[in-house]
Amino acid sequence: MQVLKLTCTIVMIAGCFRPLSWTSLFKRTVYNIYRLYVTSMLFFFSISQFMDIVLNVDNADDFTDTLNMMLTSSAACYKILIMWFNYERVSTLINYLTEEPFKPLDSGEMEIRRQFDRIIRNNTLRYIFLIEMTCSFIALTSLFTDFKHKRLTYREWVPYNYSSFLTFCFTYAQQMSTTFHVATVNVACDTLICGFLMHVCCQIAILEYRLKKLSKNQITLGYCVRHHDWIYEFARLVNTRFTYIIGFQFTASMMVICSNLYQLTKSPFDADHISLVMYTSCMLTQIFIYCWFGNKVKVESIQLMDKIFQIDWPIVNNNVKKGLLIMMKRSTIPIEISTVHIITLNLDSFVGLLKTSYSACNLLVQA
């Protein structure tokens, strides 16, 4: 059974991850060229916006106007590089989900896997719809306003004169295509990480299903213990592989939300104001899904202890009871996803990020 099918397709389109089936030299070369093109677009866009802050920005309004998109594009550039350098490790994580003890063994386990696959697919589609709707609205608004007056949608330092119409059209199109790549890379990495977290919850649900079969002697306790141990190990590997992406995203999101809130207090209510509200909503959603699924993993791992307690204990032998007690003892320590061992992904962290962003915004307004 193929896992994360839609998510892997998006990650492939974004240029972050070459499909596992593309093993020939020709396909690898073509995809590496495409990935290099996407990475260079993101890199130069981030550098040009940073240079604009250094060379041209002289007030708080221009600074926040450039900062929000620069941080978003920098996050995308950072994510695609991390995915590039960790290709083999991410491939291993995907392969783990298709092998025992994670592989479904009967129709009941396959149905659990299908339920979680549907949840992951639906969440991915909703997230894509939100991001693409925002990008489309910003692009259309810019087309009818900025393009008409020969202004670029986003501030950036351009090392050539784009006063002629053809040169301006080229620069404008380049900026629009780059923002599309920025959105796609962010969506791809976010949905991949959240997909892995949902599969941790899926494996906990499958383990609960297997534990119910202990009393019927349809499965051995040793297999369940090994499965439980691998769930913890898989969650640790996911945390290790993506901890720096999550940490960078937390920092960038806090600064972008602060910058956007400051701009909202200064801008009049017009099309640009609506675009800013939608952009802020995307940033809030982006960090919220990390915290939501991280919190879900923690809750599900703790609730496993209650599921074990609900097993029909009187009919199992003493050795099985001892093994179950060990599993219950380990379940008292929840699976927690953290970033650089500082911030834990849960709803409290999301609330803390909002408070910090709001406090920083107040300082900017009063300055």
pLDDT tens digit sequence for 217-274:
767 788 888 999 999 999 999 999 898 888 888 888 888 888 777 777 776 666 667 8
349 pLDDT higher than 70: yes
**pLDDT at position 193:** 93
CB proximity list for 250: less than 8 A, separation 6 or greater? 287, 290, 339, 343, 349, 353
| Phi-psi category of residue 343: left, alpha or beta, with phi > 0 → left and psi -120 to 50 → alpha | beta
The Cβ of residue 66 has, within 10 Å, a number of other Cβ atoms equal to 23
352 pLDDT higher than 60: yes
**pLDDT at position 367:** 59
186 pLDDT higher than 70: yes
Mean pLDDT of 1-12: 86
Most confident of the ranges 186-200, 236-250, 320-334: 186-200
**pLDDT at position 269:** 67
Q: How far is C-alpha 23 from the chain's CA centre?
A: 26
Range(s) of the domain holding residue 357: 5-366
Residue 120 pLDDT grade (very low, low, confident, very high; cuts 50, 70, 90)? very high
Count of structural domains, the chain? 1
Residues 256 and 357: beta-carbon distance below 8 Å: no
**pLDDT at position 222:** 84
Lowest mean pLDDT among 19-23, 90-94, 341-345: 341-345
| pTM of the model as a whole | 0.91
Mean pLDDT of 135-154: 84
The Cβ of residue 218 has, within 10 Å, a number of other Cβ atoms equal to 11
Residue 164 pLDDT grade (very low, low, confident, very high; cuts 50, 70, 90)? confident
Per residue in 262-297, pLDDT (tens digit) is 777 776 666 667 888 888 888 889 889 999 999 999
184 pLDDT higher than 80: yes
1 pLDDT higher than 60: no
For a pLDDT cut of 90, what percent of the chain falls above it?
Answer: 34
Per residue in 12-66, pLDDT (tens digit) is 999 998 888 888 899 999 999 999 999 999 999 999 999 888 888 777 777 777 8
Sign of the CA dihedral running 107, 111, 117, 121:
positive
CB proximity list for 186: less than 8 A, separation 6 or greater? 72, 75, 76, 79, 131, 286
**pLDDT at position 71:** 87
**pLDDT at position 330:** 87
Residue 365 pLDDT grade (very low, low, confident, very high; cuts 50, 70, 90)? low
Per residue in 199-220, pLDDT (tens digit) is 999 999 999 998 888 777 767 7
